[in-house]
Structure 1
Amino acid sequence: MILFTGFEPFGGEALNPSWLAAQQAAAGLRASGSDAVALELPCTFRESLAGLRDAVSEHRPELVICVGQAGGRARISLERVAINVDDARIPDNAGNQPVDTPIRPDGPAAYFSTLPIKQALQDLTVAGFAAEVSQTAGTYVCNHVFYGLMDLLSTSDDGARGGFIHVPYTPDQAAVHGAPGMPVAEMADALRLIALTSQTTTSDLRLAAGAEH
């Protein structure tokens, strides 16, 4: 079972491509015979993790791929690390705006993705997708969910793996913001490939994909 999550719209946007792409990715995998579901998470700090925990408990997935919108980025971003802090530049959809607040006060400073992000990067690049390894998932609800997911999976006894992917604006959003964009169908195809790569890869590729700043 593969569980995808995406977010509801936030920040004044009419849509969130992370949810649209997650839905399409799960539907595409089901059409090809794989077991996959998609869940829309609220863009709120508290309720997002509650919804994620419930879905993991219900579906018992082997893979969890959480997806969020990173407006301004031009590529599919394979997130490497989640950090234990909420520092919200803008309020979430419930009006919450935590600043310098630990996600789990007694938790580790960070968790790394357990998806094979380097192998996925190579597979995406070979297939013609614009992709990158990202060293930061921000400090907003996306990072909150990423950290919460990895914290949850760290105590799992069934070997489930997971991670976080950021997607760009849609072309329509991009035109409004003067930023890069990507069609939702292309995002969904990339997510499907990431899922398939993750299912078949247990030891990640050693590939330079770091950053100087």
Structure 2
Amino acid sequence: MRDPTPRVLLTGFAPFGGEVVNPSWDAVSQLDGGTIAGHRIVARQLPVAFGASLACLRELLDATTPNLVLCVGQAGGRGEVSIERVAINIDDARIADNAGAAPVDTPIVADGPAAYFTTLPIKSMLAALRDAGIPAGISQSAGTYVCNHVFYGLMHALHERPHIRGGFIHVPYSPEQAAHHPGAPSLPLGTVARALRIALHGALTTHEDQRIAAGSEH
């Protein structure tokens, strides 16, 4: 008999761009099988590949039937946990993905809307992270690489499943990676895993998001 406990699908990515680790997966995997706010965490890795990542995500949505989905990716150069607000309908790769593809100015969904907003309570998640002393912010752009590709594809899929909420978080390099990128900020994996746990708890327990300023001038 299937476990009736409600589930959260939590995804991270494989290493890419010459890196041998990816802190998104390394942190996400620490939460696999745990429970947050009465929800079982199912952590899975996505490939860093346009198209294949979304095919994998759709299979996971069908297999896990989650109540909430949080996808996590690496954003080297950022110094804080970045809660993404919006995904845009464009692929524009600066580097090739792990399958060698590098689409330029290509819609993710040919007839899809220009953008989707997250359906997670991002301001309450932000407040919880900052209250815990974790550097965090709201990001207004998830980029145009595979992270945004997955974020947009997730929200497009959930458009037909409005009972499932979803969103995306970017995390900085791990200290191991930052050692090879002089001057780049980083966060320990334990801190990132704790941040994801706090963010998920906020997402699962918040019924009406806070209204706090978290915008940017650029």
Structure 2 CA distance for aligned equivalents of residues 34 and 139 of structure 1: 31
* Residue in structure 2 matching 1:132, options 114, 131, 137: 137
* Residue in structure 2 matching 1:210, options 183, 198, 215: 215
Q: Mapping of 1:153-172 within 5 angstroms?
A: 153-157=158-162, 159-172=163-176
Residue type at the aligned position of 1:162? G
Residue 127 of structure 2 corresponds to which residue in structure 1? 122
Q: How many residues matched?
A: 211
Normalization by structure 1: what TM-score?
0.96
Unaligned ranges ≥5, structure 2:
1-6
What SS is found at the alignment partner of 2:35?
helix
Q: CA RMSD in A?
A: 1.2
Structure 2 CA distance for aligned equivalents of residues 160 and 198 of structure 1: 12
Q: Mapping of 1:40-79 within 5 angstroms?
A: 40-79=45-84
1:22 partnered with 2:11: no
Structure 2 CA distance for aligned equivalents of residues 192 and 134 of structure 1: 19
What SS is found at the alignment partner of 2:133?
coil
1:83 partnered with 2:92: no
Structure 2 CA distance for aligned equivalents of residues 33 and 80 of structure 1: 25
Q: Deviations over 1:77-131 (max 9, x none)?
A: 0000000000001000000000000000100000001111100000000011000
Residue type at the aligned position of 1:174? A
Q: Deviations over 1:111-161 (max 9, x none)?
A: 00111110000000001100000000000000000000000001015x110
Q: Given that residues 33 and 40 in structure 2 are in contact (C-alpha distance below 8 angstroms), is that contact kept between their aligned partners in structure 1?
A: no
How far residue 33 of structure 1 moved from its aligned partner, in angstroms, is 6.2
Residue type at the aligned position of 1:6? G
Residue type at the aligned position of 2:121? P
Q: Which runs of 4+ in 1 moved over 6 A?
A: none
Structure 1 CA distance for aligned equivalents of residues 35 and 77 of structure 2: 28
Structure 1 CA distance for aligned equivalents of residues 189 and 34 of structure 2: 13
Residue type at the aligned position of 1:183? P
Normalization by structure 2: what TM-score?
0.94
* Residue in structure 2 matching 1:3, options 4, 9, 22: 9
How far residue 188 of structure 1 moved from its aligned partner, in angstroms, is 0.6
